[in-house]
Chains A and B, each alone.
Chain A
C-alpha cells in the first residue's frame, strides 16, 4: 500500500477545453467566410490560418487539456506540475493566436516569435508528461500510445518550425509540398491518431460500461502506428513504395482500432447511447472513408489539391472533430461536477451528470455537425463555393449548438447556478 498521488484541479483541463471550443467555433465560422479560398488551392495564407486554427487551436489544445484530466485517470499518475501546465496554456494559446494571425496576414517573418512561443508551450507539455509518467510500473497499451503520440507531437512541432524558417531561409531539402504533406501526416498520424486511439481503449469502456479491450488488435495498433507512421512520413519525403507500405500499416492499425470499438459497443452494458457516445461512434465511422481516401492518395489512385482538401476535411472534421466533441461532452460535465458538486457529494443531494447536460442541444449539435462534416468533403472535392459555404453554414450551426451546450454545463461553475441546482427538486435528487 502507498499514499496516492495528488489529484489535478478540474479548472486546469477546463481552461484548455474552453479555449479549444472557442477555436472550434472560430474555425467553423471561418469555413463559411473562407469558402472562396477553400474552393481553390490549399496552399494559401488564409487556408493555412484556418487549418492551424483547427489542428492547433481546436485539436491540440483539446488533447493537451484532456490529457491533464485523462492521463492521471488512465495511467494512475498525478500531473508533475500544475503550475507549468498553466504557463503552458498561456504560451501555447498565445503562440497559436500569433501563428494564425500571421498566416492570415501572410506575414511569414512575424511567424518566428509565434512559433517560438508555441514550441515553448509544447516543450512544457512534453516535459510535464515525461516527468508525470517516468517510473511507470506497467506500460499498458494506452501508456505506450500516449508516449508515441508525444514523440509525434515533438517531431511535428520541430518539423513545423523548420518549415517556417524555410520560408525565410532555405534550409530543408526536397520540394515544398512533400515537406508540407510530411508535416501534416506527422501531426495527424503521429500525434492525434495514437493519442485518440490510446485513450479510447481506456475511456470508451468507462463510458460504454463494457470490458476493456484486449488481444491481438492492440498489438496491430501498436505495431501499425509504430512502424506505419515513420514509414508514411519518410515515404512522402523519399519513396512512394515506402509510403504505400506505411499507409497499409496505418490502415491496419485503424481497422484494429475499429474492431475494438465495435467489440466494446457490442459488449456494452449501457443499453442506450447518450449524445456524447453517438458523437464518438460517428467519428469512428468516419475513419473508414478517411482511411480509404488516404490509401487511394498513397497508392496514387487519386491526386490533386481538391482530393487532398476533401481528405483533410474527412480526417480533421468528420473523424477528429466529431470524436473530440463527443469526448468533451463526457469530460466537461465531469470536470464541472468535480469542481462544483464533488465537495458536497455524500453530505447533501447533488445533481448527477445527466442533470448538468442539455440533451436537446447535444442532439442538435450532433445532427448539424454530422450533416456538415458529411457534406463538406464532397463540396471541397467539387470545389464549388456555394456548396462549401452551405456545408460550412451547417457546420457553424452545429458548432454554435455545441458551444451553447458546453456553456450551459459550464455555468454550473458559477455559485448562483449551484444554489439553483441544489434546490431539492425531483430532477436533482442524488443517486
Chain B
C-alpha cells in the first residue's frame, strides 16, 4: 500500500508508469524517465517528499498514486499542506556570522544533471561554524533528511517562483552576531567544483557583482580559472590563488575599488 513514507525507488521499480504522473506535477520528475537518473535519484525520495517538491498536499499525491495502481484510496491519512504553502519560518539566529559555502544547482537541474554529488562534496567542507547554502529551482525536501542524518539543520527561503535558498548548518551556537551586512561580504565562500565551464565563471561573476568595496569572496575550484583572471582584473578585483591540496584550488577575491 502506498503511503507518504513509501520509497519512490521501490515504487517506480514496481510501477514505472507512475513516472508520467509524477512528471505531470513537476518538471523535475520528468528526469526520472531517464533510467540512469531514476536509479540515482528515486531511492533517496519518499512519496511525501515528492509531494513537497511538487508543492502538493501529501494526501493528494498518495491518493493519485494509489488510484493509478488500483489500490484503495479510502483511508489515506490527511496531512498538512506542503512546505511551499507553509508560512516562512523566521531566520534562525544561529546563522548570523557563519561562513557560507554556496552551491547553486539550478543550472545543473535545468540541464538534466543530478547535483547530489556536488552537494555532498560541499557538505564535507562545512565546519561547525559554517553554513552550506543550496540554491535550487524547487524546495529540495529530500535533502533535509539526507543532511539531517549528518547533523545538519536547515532553514529555507523562497526567493522567487523557481528559486529556493536553503541554509544547512550544524547546531553549534555562535556567540558573535555581526549582522547581515557582515554575513553578506565577509568570509563568504562559493564552491564551483563539479560545474561545466563556463558556469564557474558565471557563478563567480554573479556573486562579485553584489560584493561591497573591501568585501571578499573565497572561491573553491578544481583548477586555476585562467579565463576568469582577466575579468577580475578588468573589474577592479584583486585576487590570490593557492592549492591547499591536490585537486582543490582556492581563489580569494577582494573588491579593491567601488
Chain A contact residues, CB within 8 Å of chain B: 1-8, 10, 72-74, 76, 78, 138, 202, 206-207, 209, 212, 269-272, 334, 337-338, 342-343, 345-347, 350, 352-354, 430-431
Q: Which residue of B lies closest to A72 (CB)?
A: B226
How distant is A168 from chain B, measured CB to nearest CB, in Å? 44
Q: Which residue of B lies closest to A352 (CB)?
A: B107
Is the beta-carbon distance between A3 and B208 smaller than 8 angstroms?
Answer: no
A154 to B138, CA, bound (A): 55
How distant is A276 from chain B, measured CB to nearest CB, in Å? 11
Chain A residues with Cβ below 8 Å from B252 are: 1
A206 to B208, CA, bound (A): 24
A345 to B234, CA, bound (A): 13
Is the beta-carbon distance between B112 and A7 smaller than 8 angstroms?
Answer: no
Chain A residues with Cβ below 8 Å from B227 are: 7-8, 10, 73, 338, 342
Chain B residues with Cβ below 8 Å from A353 are: 196-198
The 8 Å CB contact of A272, one of B112, B222, B242, B251, is B112
Chain A residues with Cβ below 8 Å from B247 are: 212
How distant is B31 from chain A, measured CB to nearest CB, in Å? 8
How distant is B139 from chain A, measured CB to nearest CB, in Å? 19
Chain A residues with Cβ below 8 Å from B114 are: 269, 271
Q: Which residue of B lies closest to A138 (CB)?
A: B246
Interface residues in B219-258 by Cβ distance below 8 A to A read 222-224, 226-231, 234, 239-242, 246-247, 249, 251-252
Can you add 16 more A-B contacts, CB < 8 Å, to A73-B226, A271-B37?
A4-B224, A4-B251, A5-B226, A8-B226, A269-B194, A271-B31, A271-B36, A271-B113, A342-B231, A343-B234, A346-B208, A353-B196, A430-B202, A431-B104, A431-B106, A431-B202
Contact with A along B181-201 (1 / 0, CB 8 A): 000000000000010111101
Is the beta-carbon distance between A346 and B205 smaller than 8 angstroms?
Answer: yes
The 8 Å CB contact of A346, one of B107, B209, B239, is B209
Is the beta-carbon distance between A3 and B240 smaller than 8 angstroms?
Answer: yes
Interface size class of B (residues with CB under 8 A): 35 or more
A430 to B202, CA, bound (A): 9
Q: Which residue of A lies closest to B224 (CB)?
A: A76
The 8 Å CB contact of A431, one of B199, B246, B249, is B199
Is the beta-carbon distance between B197 and A334 smaller than 8 angstroms?
Answer: yes
Q: Which residue of A lies closest to B240 (CB)?
A: A1
Among A4, A8, A212, A270, chain B packs the most CB atoms within 10 A around the CB of A4
Is the beta-carbon distance between A4 and B239 smaller than 8 angstroms?
Answer: yes
A334 to B242, CA, bound (A): 25
Among A6, A8, A76, chain B packs the most CB atoms within 10 A around the CB of A76
Q: Which residue of A lies closest to B238 (CB)?
A: A3
Chain A residues with Cβ below 8 Å from B117 are: 269
Among B104, B106, B206, chain A packs the most CB atoms within 10 A around the CB of B206
Chain A residues with Cβ below 8 Å from B246 are: 138
Interface residues in B156-209 by Cβ distance below 8 A to A read 194, 196-199, 201-209
Contact with A along B89-114 (1 / 0, CB 8 A): 00000000000000010110011111
A170 to B257, CA, bound (A): 67
Chain B residues with Cβ below 8 Å from A206 are: 196-197, 222
The 8 Å CB contact of B229, one of A1, A6, A270, A430, is A6
Is the beta-carbon distance between B113 and A350 smaller than 8 angstroms?
Answer: no
B34 interface residue (CB < 8 Å to A): yes
Chain A residues with Cβ below 8 Å from B31 are: 271
The 8 Å CB contact of B239, one of A3, A269, A354, is A3
The 8 Å CB contact of B206, one of A76, A78, A271, A345, is A345
Among B197, B234, B242, B249, chain A packs the most CB atoms within 10 A around the CB of B197
Is the beta-carbon distance between A7 and B226 smaller than 8 angstroms?
Answer: yes
Is the beta-carbon distance between A6 and B230 smaller than 8 angstroms?
Answer: yes
Is the beta-carbon distance between B202 and A269 smaller than 8 angstroms?
Answer: no
Chain B residues with Cβ below 8 Å from A350 are: 202
Is the beta-carbon distance between A345 and B226 smaller than 8 angstroms?
Answer: no
Chain A residues with Cβ below 8 Å from B239 are: 3-4
Is the beta-carbon distance between B229 and A7 smaller than 8 angstroms?
Answer: yes
Contact with A along B106-128 (1 / 0, CB 8 A): 11001111100110000000000
A271 to B222, CA, bound (A): 21
How distant is A355 from chain B, measured CB to nearest CB, in Å? 12
The 8 Å CB contact of A270, one of B113, B203, B228, B230, is B113
How distant is A102 from chain B, measured CB to nearest CB, in Å? 39
Contact sample, A vs B, 9 pairs, CB 8 Å cutoff: A2-B240, A4-B241, A7-B230, A76-B223, A269-B113, A338-B198, A338-B201, A431-B107, A431-B110
Contacts A272-B112, A431-B110; is A346 near B226 (CB within 8 Å)?
no
How distant is B13 from chain A, measured CB to nearest CB, in Å? 19
Chain A residues with Cβ below 8 Å from B251 are: 4
Is the beta-carbon distance between A1 and B241 smaller than 8 angstroms?
Answer: yes
How distant is A352 from chain B, measured CB to nearest CB, in Å? 8
Q: Which residue of B lies closest to A270 (CB)?
A: B113
Chain A residues with Cβ below 8 Å from B228 are: 7
A350 to B107, CA, bound (A): 13
